[in-house]
């Protein structure tokens, strides 16, 4: 334990120190190679120009290289793999893709992902918005917001473990230790094996992500709501609009760009959802999703790099347009500048 802490600390210090050393050193090197204090003025000006055009590349260089190695190269490698067989040796054309679209597991995953997509971003944004508005008006709102934000700090696996206990089921006659079943028994109902109830279990898993992400939506939307000019709300009050109308017609439209950014950010997250399903059901009882299916084929029982890669590409194609829209929207919002 202590050993791990020490090594983590050393890594952090070395990493940060290394970065500083790189920026400092490369800058000095640039200065030496093209001195700004050259003997004649013409040369000095030229050197300064060279310096300022080289420096951005120098400073961005490490990031660009890392991005290429860990992001761009894998994309092309995955595309390449998706057109090859199990071991990635012989070309099979689009066989992996046609397999996927005829595979019942894959179809199930697409359907489930679609459900997640429909429910989670909408629920997070909705709850985030409502909580942001409500907590703005009460004195203990700050505390409530912190509590709602807290789950965001928990890893998906950690959160799933917590919720495993919530949904826990003990056999007939035993005491129910899961809070949900305990409550149901207390109210005189029959305990259920929640996570194996086909179709509905999807929603029980979604609750976990909603629980985690609502805090994020609350904080971002809360900040946006505070940016809505107070006097437009007052004008609407005088114009005879009630609280609901003011909320839906005056407040929400004014923060629409932020709502879209929150919505799409969570949408991208949902398309990649993996840890929760892996931890809770591992895709059993009809809860499979694309990311977990890919993981299955790539690294577990499946052991088929071609199929795994094909699924990965499908996920990427689904995420890409939303991602682009999200970035555009975020940029537009910044330019709109409040």
Partner 1 sequence: MADIRLTDLNKSYGAIHILKDVSLDITSGEFIVFVGPSGCGKSTLLRSICGLESITSGTLEIDHAVVNEVPPSKRGIAMVFQSYALYPHMSVYENIGFALENQGLPRAEIKQKVEKVADMLQLTPYLTRLPKALSGGQRQRVAIGRAIVRGAKVFLFDEPLSNLDAALRVQTRMEIAKLKRSMPKTTMIYVTHDQVEAMTLADRIVVLQAGRVEQVGTPMELYDRPANTFVAGFIGSPKMNLITGEPAARHKAHTLGVRPEHFELSAATGEIKGMVEYTEVLGSDSFLYVATPQGLLTVREEGKTAFKPGDTVHVTPAAALVHRFGEDGKRLA
Region from 51-59, 242-250, 281-289, 313-321 binding partner 1, contact rule CB under 8 A: 242-250
Q: Residue 5 contacts by C-beta under 8 Å, 6 or more apart in sequence?
A: none
- Phi, psi (rounded to 5 degrees) for 173: 90, -25
Q: Per rule CB under 8 A, is residue 56 in the interface with partner 1? A: no
Q: Between 136 and 234, name the residue whose CB sits nearer to partner 1.
A: 234
In the complex, the smallest distance separating the C-beta of residue 156 from partner 1, rounded to whole angstroms, is 36
Torsion of CA 301, 307, 311, 312, to 10 degrees: 90
How far is 86 from 305, CA to CA, in rounded Å? 5
Q: Select the residue interacting with partner 1 from 45, 235, 320, 327 (CB under 8 A).
A: 235
Region from 21-29, 176-184, 214-222, 250-258 binding partner 1, contact rule CB under 8 A: 250-258
In the complex, the smallest distance separating the C-beta of residue 206 from partner 1, rounded to whole angstroms, is 31
How far is 77 from 313, CA to CA, in rounded Å? 11
Distances in Å between the Cα of 228 and the Cα atoms of 54, 215, 247, 252, 313 are 43, 20, 11, 9, 41
Q: Select the residue interacting with partner 1 from 241, 319, 323, 330 (CB under 8 A).
A: 241
DSSP3 helix / strand / coil % (the chain, rounded to 5): 75, 0, 20
Q: Per rule CB under 8 A, is residue 236 in the interface with partner 1? A: yes
Q: Between 72 and 235, name the residue whose CB sits nearer to partner 1.
A: 235
How far is 277 from 269, CA to CA, in rounded Å? 13
Structure letter (DSSP) for residue 180: H
Q: Between 254 and 282, name the residue whose CB sits nearer to partner 1.
A: 254
Q: Between 115 and 261, name the residue whose CB sits nearer to partner 1.
A: 261
In the complex, the smallest distance separating the C-beta of residue 222 from partner 1, rounded to whole angstroms, is 19
Could you list the residues that contact partner 1 (CB under 8 A)? 229, 231-232, 234-241, 245, 249-250, 253-254, 256
């Amino acid at each position: 334990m202590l050993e791990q802490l020490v090594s983590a600390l050393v890594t952090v210090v070395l990493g940060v120190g290394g970065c500083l050393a790189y920026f400092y050193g490369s800058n000095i090197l640039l200065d030496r190679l093209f001195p700004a204090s050259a003997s004649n003025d013409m040369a000095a000006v030229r050197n300064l120009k060279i310096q300022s055009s080289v420096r951005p590349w120098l400073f961005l260089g490490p990031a660009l290289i890392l991005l290429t190695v860990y992001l761009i190269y894998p994309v092309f490698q995955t595309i390449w793999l998706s057109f090859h067989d199990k071991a990635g040796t012989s070309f099979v054309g689009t066989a992996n893709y046609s397999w996927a679209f005829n595979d019942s597991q894959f179809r199930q995953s697409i359907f489930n992902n679609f459900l997640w997509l429909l429910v989670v971003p909408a629920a997070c944004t909705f709850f985030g918005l409502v909580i942001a508005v409500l907590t703005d008006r009460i004195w203990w709102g700050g505390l409530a917001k912190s509590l709602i934000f807290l789950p965001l700090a928990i890893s998906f696996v950690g959160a799933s473990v917590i919720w495993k206990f919530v949904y826990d089921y003990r056999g007939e006659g035993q005491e129910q230790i899961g809070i949900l079943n305990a409550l149901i028994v207390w109210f005189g109902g029959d305990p259920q094996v929640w996570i194996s109830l086909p179709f509905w279990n999807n929603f029980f898993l979604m609750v976990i992500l909603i629980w985690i992400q609502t805090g994020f939506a609350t904080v971002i939307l809360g900040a946006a709501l505070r940016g809505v000019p107070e006097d437009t709300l007052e004008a609407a009050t005088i114009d005879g609009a009630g609280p609901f109308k003011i909320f839906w017609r005056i407040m929400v439209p004014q923060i629409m760009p932020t709502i879209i950014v929150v919505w799409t950010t969570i949408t991208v997250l949902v398309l990649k959802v993996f840890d929760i399903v892996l931890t809770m059901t591992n895709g059993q009882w009809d809860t499979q999703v694309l990311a977990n299916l890919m993981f299955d084929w790539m690294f577990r029982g499946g052991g088929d790099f071609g199929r795994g890669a094909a699924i990965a590409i499908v996920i990427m194609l689904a995420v890409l347009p939303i991602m682009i829209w999200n970035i555009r929207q975020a940029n537009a919002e910044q330019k709109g500048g409040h």
